[in-house]
Structure 1
Amino acid sequence: MKVIVAGLSKTGTKTMNTALTYLGYEVYDLFENFWYVGDDWIKQYKEGFRVEDMKRMYENVDAVVDLPSDINWEEILEAFPDAKVILTTRDEDKWFKSLSNQVDQLNGDFMFRLIRTITYTGIRLQYYFAATATHLDVVSTWPSSYLRLRHEESLKRLKRKHERNVMQIAPKNQLLVYQVTDGWKPLCDFLGVPVPNKPFPHKNKGGFLLDGMRKENLVMQRMQIELRVSLACLFVLFVIFLYNIYLSFTF
């Protein structure tokens, strides 16, 4: 583990994922954390954090971004004490607006709610969200497929508290406080790598996550395939049900 991005969701985490990937890092974002080590995270939340487990989970990973590594950055740093910490931040009004947009999109997208209700991977994701997203009170209340968003000022205070905590605890020589609008140079200088000859990426602007994920993320694509299979099975069962009703009236 070389880089821990400790900024909360909606502070440029998807942009950081892309930027670090451009720079050659193997990055675990929210969906990678869910898919590859999600069961380990749930176990850690239930039984307590163990350094040896964290080392095993991320022994072949260069960087972590977003849930749940943002809120548990200290536990990861304990396992990898030489890792660099990047605190991504942004204007809190823009941050809250982006977070609200994303929650509204996730709640309003019928297909995504259906995925999290009738597909195997979607149900696992729902449970994972419920176990790991409580630091923002953006929580799936099982079995509901809706997310709840806390009061605006409460969330802003939580963001300030989280960022103060990172700045106070992280070793100063291993910490970069960073806004993605700053571009390549401060990031590359901090990491000790050359600035790439390509524009700095900007992903998930405004909190509109699903469109990009459907095109690019393999876990999301898998869930969409599972949804089609589940709907097909439900349709077949419905046809069989109607046929049995027809037979009961015919004979």
Structure 2
Amino acid sequence: MAPLEVIGAAYSRTGTDSLRTALNMLGYKTHHMRAMFEGNGHPELFAQAYDNPEKPADWDRMYEGWEAAVDCPTVCFIRPLIAAYPDAKVILIERDADSWYDSVKNSIYKLSTVDEEEYDDYGRCLQRMTKKIWMDGVFENGEFIANPDAVKAKYKAHNAWVKEYVPQERLLTLNLNEGIGWEKICEFLGKPVPDEPYPRINSTTQLNEELPQLIDQLKPQ
């Protein structure tokens, strides 16, 4: 299996699905939370890696068949992943913390409130994993709703940490509020600029329309 070549360090709702689509257009097979919802993942292994950071994790197994990875669960493991894949390039997309929080609250937060009994065994495992690891459990412990300012501070601290910790020659930082296009990404990855426009998908409205379908994928068939 080829190791990860591109690692997304940005939290969900910062254009990660558009980035996934863009990387696929550039020839990468890109892991994203959507793959997990489609049953293509190992939520139990990611949970174990989170619970036991001192133990070696089998990242090659968790990312088997993928060449790039963005969004959750990847964003929760940036430190070990850039160590495991030292040649991988890292892309961080920033966004204004207030608009980011509102986007999460009005979309993916709703998934965390679904009664896990509605899901099959895999779905329950995936939901437990996500609530446990995403921003160190702010969905699980109620902090996301109870203390928005603390959650926004964690979000900004994560972005600051990535910019300080990841070697600059391996890091591309983009800002969603300023618009994202092909030029910087393609130059960073050494890829030609596609003839097609940079993808802009998965708005809050679009995701909310899709949520019932995503939930149904995790229910007993």
TM-score past 0.5 threshold: yes
Q: Determine helix, strand or coil for the equivalent of 2:173.
A: strand
Any conservation in 2 of the 1:6–1:66 contact (CA below 8 Å)?
Answer: yes
Which of 94, 99, 102 is the matching residue for 1:94? 99
Q: Give 1:73's aligned amino acid.
A: I
Which range moves more in the overlay, 202-211 or 59-68?
A: 202-211
Structure 2 equivalent of residue 130 of structure 1: 131
- Shift in CA distance, 16/95, structure 1 to aligned 2, threshold 3 Å: same
Q: Determine helix, strand or coil for the equivalent of 2:155.
A: helix
Which of 45, 50, 59 is the matching residue for 1:54? 59
Structure number with the bigger relative contact order (C-alpha 8 A, sep ≥ 6) is: 2
Structure with bigger gyration radius: 1
Using the size of structure 1 for normalisation, the TM-score is: 0.74
- 1:155-190 deviation per Cα after TM superposition (whole angstroms, max 9, x unaligned): 221111111110111011010001342211111111
Structure 1's unaligned 5+ residue stretches are 142-146, 230-251
Runs of 4+ in 1 over 6 A off after TM superposition: none
Structure 2 equivalent of residue 178 of structure 1: 174
Structure 2's unaligned 5+ residue stretches are none
Two-structure CA RMSD over aligned residues (Å): 2.7
Which range moves more in the overlay, 118-127 or 160-169?
A: 118-127
Deviation at 1:208, TM superposition (A): 5.0
Structure 1 equivalent of residue 207 of structure 2: 209
- 1:79-110 deviation per Cα after TM superposition (whole angstroms, max 9, x unaligned): 001100101111222112211211564478xx
Deviation at 1:33, TM superposition (A): 4.7
Q: Give 1:186's aligned amino acid.
A: K
Structure with greater helix percent: 1
Structure 2 equivalent of residue 167 of structure 1: 163
Query: Alignment identity in percent?
Result: 29
Number of aligned positions between the proteins: 213
Distance 1:150 1:177 in 2: 30
Q: Give 1:205's aligned amino acid.
A: S
- Shift in CA distance, 105/54, structure 1 to aligned 2, threshold 3 Å: closer
Distance 1:93 1:51 in 2: 36
Which of 7, 31, 37 is the matching residue for 2:10? 7
Deviation at 1:51, TM superposition (A): 4.6
